[in-house]
Amino acid sequence: MNATRMPELHPHAALIDALGGPSKLADRLGIQGAGRVQRVQNWKYRGIPEVMLLRHPKIFGRQSAQEKQAA
10, 43 contact by CB (below 8 A)? yes
Residue 20, C-beta contacts closer than 8 angstroms, at least 6 positions apart: 28
pTM comes to 0.79
Determine the Cα–Cα distance for residues 25 and 12; give it in Å rounded to an integer. Answer: 12
Q: Tens of pLDDT along 18-59? A: 999 999 999 999 999 999 999 999 999 999 999 999 999 999
> Does position 8 have pLDDT exceeding 90, yes or no?
yes
Question: Which of the pair, 3 or 44, is modelled with greater confidence?
Answer: 44
